[in-house]
Structure 1
Amino acid sequence: MPLPAARPRLTVAVTGLNATDSPGPGVAVIRALRESPDFDLRIIGLSYEALEPGIYLRELVDRTYQLPYPSAGTAALLERLRYVREQEDVAVLIPNFDAELYNFIKLAPELRALGIQTFLPTLAQLEARDKLNLPAFGAAHGLRVPPGRLLHAVAEVAGAAEALGWPLVLKGRYYDAAVVHSLAQAEQAFLRLSGLWGVPLIAQQYVAGQEINIAGLGDGHGRALSAVPMRKLTITDKGKAWAGITLEDEALLALARRFAEATRWRGGFELEIMRTPGDELFIMEINPRFPAWIYLTAAAGQNQPAALLRLALGLPVPLMDGYAVGKMFVRYAWDLITDHTQFQQAAALGEL
């Protein structure tokens, strides 16, 4: 009997290894990639800090290199990635943080010249769905988005509350949010969020209802190749899903398809939805990458990270139809034990 053909060896680099109480998507993306039947993968982790837990998950990550923070700019990032490419035969790179996407998108032609493929949204797509532009985006495409205002100074909070009402949602430029019920709370939240993420902040009208998230994958030509909705069962104090369950709901799938068609979205995305008691669907945020719960899509039968890997390589990806409804995830915390010499190496040398 002939032996089965060996899967081709492929090296993939992944960011977002901070698997904490507000986790990055990287570890979940890697778990999903490891289940791809198409390739024998070597995974290179790209970190920003030496204490990102994904660095030390040796069964998932073969080697890790530290990157400069996004604020260092594209030149510093490209120099570091050139070094990584000299050490590792990286064929595909999958970024997973909002704040780093601008630099990676700008560098896409240079990365291709190095032999590194990506599958990312365009800068125009990235900016159109930005929190700062979300109300205009919703109006342009007939999508329900809560009214909002940009806040550049704490003195503008009172005016926003008068226009939008209490309670009010204040959101950081990239991450973090607070629901506030009074002017004193709002001013305190403004100072905290602006200190972390700068200005402007976004003041958004509060919408009561059921929180639902949709993970999707756009082919860049107007099709959502995959869409899996999930209802949050438990959330952290930062609003992150700690448990969730897949849903069967055609209205949610249709919304994901409308988003992909309207934007011709390229790559992974997440729609954060609020379903009101009147069954209206409001888009609260549009995240331009896979969410931290993305492994649930693979467990439910639509492995979106593995499909994105094929897209980056120019391989065909069929439209994914059907997934396991009622599939749950429950996140947990545990103590990952490593040796101090590994931490010292990661901190001092920027690689492990």
Structure 2
Amino acid sequence: MMSKTLNIAISGLNNVDSPGPGIPVIRGIRESNKFESRIIGLAYENLEPGPFMHDFVDKTYKVPYPSEGVESLMERISYIHNRENIDVLIPNFDSEIFVFIKLADRLKEMGIHTFLPTLQQFEERHKSNLPAFGKKHGIKVPDSYPVTSASEIFDLKKDQKVDYPLVIKGIFYDAFIAGNSEQAAIYFNKISAKWGLPVVVQQFVKGTEVNVVALGDGTGKTVGAVPMRKQYITDKGKAWGGITLDDPGMIDYTHKLIASTKWRGGMELELIRTADNELFLIEINPRLPAWVYLAVAAGQNLPEAMIQLATGENVSPFTDFAIGKIFIRYSFDMICSMDEFQKLSTTGEL
């Protein structure tokens, strides 16, 4: 028998060509047979599709970007909580995770539960800190360096610390492979203009990219983990199709990493498997990824489990998943009314 309905606030509703995880997370929650849910969308822009997807989102509120100030965001969340009595809040963008980690205790005092990494976990897995992270936890990572100018990239090459090709990465999103110094400078300028500094320079590792979505309980136990290989990648580097893998080595790798870090919350591991079958960690995203519904369809409802953990329930780890499940992402023209758009634009609510 299901318990009371949980009011769950969720961000990341930009289900476009570079989709946020919000709608896939909501799909998993909606399929739960453990609890009923009322979904409160947190939108940053008027044209995010999620607010207009009424089968998934019951009510939407505009919220200010974290860059506008912690107190401004907290004031808005307090207003929404007074209206909706939020039980659980799940932020889904890398750029907002830090702020909600800082606010977690204040939210808990209000009765709003979260299930996020600790500040230390969040900080040490940053792209710029990846070499130290790899050394601490005994895993292989490419050489990585934070830089604040294009000239520093040239110095790294001159000092023979790196060699082309290089991967030029933003602190939150975007990555480009540079084959020479001219491309490196172009990508540095493009990424720094969009995401700020530092920009991360990472040695390119040749191999096959594979990914794992996982959930850690905060004590070192892995609640669930599903490996995937991208079948189709967009020009933004996003998976537009993928397949679950029969790869015990990747599962064991994930269990060991979560045990070592005592990771709390969702994560996505981005890995490169080399020709000699070695795994290099190139990135840890500190939240469930946009392809998380593949894990749900394969038998591991990680969004549901995260809600249970956030509300203090005991969750039994998932032990298996369906191999060979494929997801294929597609575009869909959703028709909305001007009245709804104007309401969200003018009142900040829908």
Where on the TM-score scale, by shorter chain, does this alignment land: which range? over 0.9
Give the match's secondary structure for 2:287: coil
Corresponding residue for residue 241 of structure 2: 243
- Aligned counterpart, 1:101: 97
Runs of 5+ in structure 1 lacking a partner?
none
Question: Separation in 1 of the partners of 2:83 and 2:192?
Answer: 39
For 1:319, give the aligned amino acid: P
Q: TM-score, normalising length from structure 1?
A: 0.97
1:155 to 151, 155, 161: 151
Q: Distance in 1 between matches of 2:92 and 2:257?
A: 20
1:73, 1:103 within 8 Å by CA — same for their partners in 2?
A: no
| 2:59–2:349 contact (8 Å) kept in structure 1 | yes
In structure 2, give the amino acid aligned to 1:15: S
SS in 1 for 2:226: strand
User: What's the % identity of the aligned pairs?
Assistant: 49
Compute the displacement of 1:7 (Å): 4.5
Partner residue of 1:15?
11
The corresponding residue for 2:44 is: 48
Secondary structure in 2 matching 1:157? helix
Asked whether the equivalents of residues 16 and 26 of structure 1 are also in contact (C-alpha less than 8 Å), the reply is yes
Q: Does 1:203 align with 2:201?
A: yes
Alignment-mate amino acid for residue 43 of structure 1: I
The equivalent of 1:296 in structure 2 is 294
Equivalent-residue separation in structure 2 for 1:72 and 1:261 (angstroms): 36
Partner of 1:145: 141
Report the more deviating stretch, 68-77 or 155-164: 155-164
Tell me what 1:125 maps to.
Answer: 121
Measured after TM superposition, the shift of residue 160 of structure 1 is 2.6
Deviation sequence 1:204-244 (CA, Å, 0-9, x none): 00011111110000000011110000010000111111000
SS at match of 2:80: helix
Give the root-mean-square deviation of aligned CA atoms. Answer: 0.9
Q: 2: distance between equivalents of 1:110 and 1:18? A: 27
Quote the residue 2:54 is aligned against: 58
| Equivalent residue for 1:327, pick from 311, 319, 325 | 325
CA contact 1:160–1:203 (8 Å) conserved in 2: no
Runs of 4+ in 1 over 3 A off after TM superposition: none
Matched, 1:344 2:346: no
The TM-score, its normalising length taken from structure 2, stands at 0.98
Equivalent in the alignment of 1:169:
167
Contact map agreement 2:127 2:144 (CA 8 A) in 1: no
Q: Match for 2:253: what amino acid?
A: L
Cα offsets for 1:286-313 (capped at 9, x unmatched)? 0000000001111000000000000000
> Do 1:271 and 1:287's aligned partners in 2 also have CA atoms closer than 8 Å?
yes
Name the amino acid aligned to 1:31: R
Amino acid corresponding to residue 348 of structure 2 in structure 1? G
Shift of 1:161: 3.4
Check 1:345–1:181 CA distance in 2 against 1; reply closer, same or farther (3 A cut): same
The whole-number CA distance in structure 2 between the counterparts of 1:190 and 1:110 is 37
Shift of 1:8: 2.1
